[in-house]
Copies of this chain bind each other. A is one copy, B any other.
Amino acid sequence: MSSLLLKNVLHEGRKTCILIADGRFKDLNAPQDCPADRVYEADGLAILPAMYNTHTHAAMTLLRGYADDMALNKWLQEYIWPYEDKLTAEDIRRGSEIAIREMLAGGTVFFSDMYFEIEGTMKEVEKYGMRAAIGITMLDGHSLSQQEHKLDTLKHWKDPSGGLLTLTIDPHAIYTAGPETFRKCARLCKETGYMLHTHLSETREEVENCIKAHGTTPVRYLNELGVLGPHVIAAHCVHVDKEEWKILADNGVTVSHCPASNMKLGSGRFPYELAIESGCRITIGTDGASSNNNLDLRESVKLATLLAKVNGDPELLPAELALRWATRNGAEAFGIDAGEVKEGMLADAILLRMSPERMQPCHNLVSNFIYSADSSCIKVTICNGKIVYESDFSMIFAGN
């Protein structure tokens, strides 16, 4: 593999040269004339870790803005599902490509995906050189032969990307996959080492229906099924009580918090106080573009920090912690040795323009990135030691 020297980049408040080799941060204080296969002049740019989007449905970029501002059932039944029924494998490949490009331009180098017809999505991930965990979605509505076909995919699959790509096993949710499906998926995770990715406790209705059907709440229900463990990534977890947070934490479950989606669909405010107190590993997801409507993880991080504070506690979820949810926590959950700009770690990073007015002045880089930046500030995205995205941005003011 090749080496990359980031020359004169701002790191923790001072200019330095950073050498990346074999996909990892090799030297954060390399000499100016350090030999490298590629030298990138990063004067005026600051480095931060890249981000990890732990819950999305990439191909749903195709439905961006197709149905907004409506009640959940109408939205799903009259708009989303009929539209999705018509999608071909080629549509899904194209929708995934839009998502991948959008994510890279927003500083995201990994996504955990749950959708269908995954071959095209995987091809695009490989093409663009990003990381992903692509879910094999399991629904009881699917026929037995479809399910068997999916599980075959899983058993015969080999990563063609050299470690950037993996699969997950995705029983969709407790209201679309029964106890047998969940148990089967959990068994398969143990056999294969893949993660189990599901929606959990997203809406009040889900909780109420679970109590009616199973006599208990969703987290307790999955715990009783023996499904929970460090291999589980649970998206949403909006309606989770204190004892349930302890169950999630004790089992080492990772939660993907999706603030934009929870707000836009009216699902409710994530219980930040309980979640943080529990010690559970929390990460951030954008969810699909039909309920967000972008895949901009930085925007979702800002949303999380603000929604945490709104009820009266401005100290809750400071920017540093929220960025950690979107960086190191996301990487760690999926066993990726990345998420920090640190010698020895895999080199996933972004280089930020310091010149746009929204980045000025710079009292605090993390604060400026989380609270003030947008994608116009992202000059470069680096994944696995390689520059996978680069932008040019210039502004002209008539009055200047």
Contacts and interface: CB of A to CB of B under 8 A. Distances in A.
A189 interface: no
Given A357-B61, A372-B293, A395-B105, A312 B268 contact: yes
A64 B363 contact: yes
A283 interface: no
Contact of A371 (B102, B294, B362): B294
Contacts of A71: 314-315
Contact of A314 (B69, B315, B368): B69
Nearest to A376: B376
A364 B295 CA distance: 17
Interface string A329-347: 0000000000000000000
B392 A398 contact: no
A102 B312 contact: no
Interface in A229-256: none
Interface stretch (A144-152, A170-178, A303-311): A303-311
Contacts of A65: 361-364, 367-368, 371-372
Contacts of A260: 306
B310 A371 contact: no
Contact of A263 (B70, B306, B372): B306
A35 interface: no
Q: Indicate how many identical chains form the complex.
A: 2
Interface stretch (A6-14, A108-116, A194-202, A383-391): A383-391
A294 B375 CA distance: 13
Interface string A96-110: 001101101110000
Contacts of A75: 314
A262 interface: yes
* Interface bracket on A: 35 or more
A292 to B, nearest CB: 7
A15 interface: no
A87 interface: no
A190 interface: no
A43 interface: no
Contacts of A264: 305-306, 309, 314, 371
B360 A98 contact: yes
A317 B72 CA distance: 15
A143 interface: no
Residue among A128, A130, A367 having the largest count of chain B Cβ atoms under 10 Å: A367
Interface in A55-74: 61-66, 68-72
A148 B124 CA distance: 67
A389 B397 CA distance: 5
A399 B127 contact: yes
Contacts of A316: 266
Contacts of A375: 358, 374, 376
A306 to B, nearest CB: 4
Contact of A319 (B69, B395, B396, B399): B69
A397 B128 contact: yes
Interface in A174-216: 204
A367 B292 CA distance: 10
Interface of A: 61-66, 68-72, 75, 98-99, 101-102, 104-106, 127-130, 204, 260, 262-269, 289, 292-296, 299, 303, 305-307, 309-319, 356-358, 360-364, 367-368, 371-376, 386-400
9 contacts: A68-B318, A69-B319, A102-B357, A105-B356, A293-B367, A299-B374, A307-B310, A389-B396, A392-B392
Ordered nearest first, which 9 A-B pairs have the shortest CB separation?
Answer: A128-B399, A65-B367, A263-B306, A69-B318, A102-B357, A293-B371, A374-B374, A376-B376, A266-B314
Given A68-B371, A266-B311, A358-B375, 4 more contacts: A101-B395, A129-B398, A204-B312, A391-B393
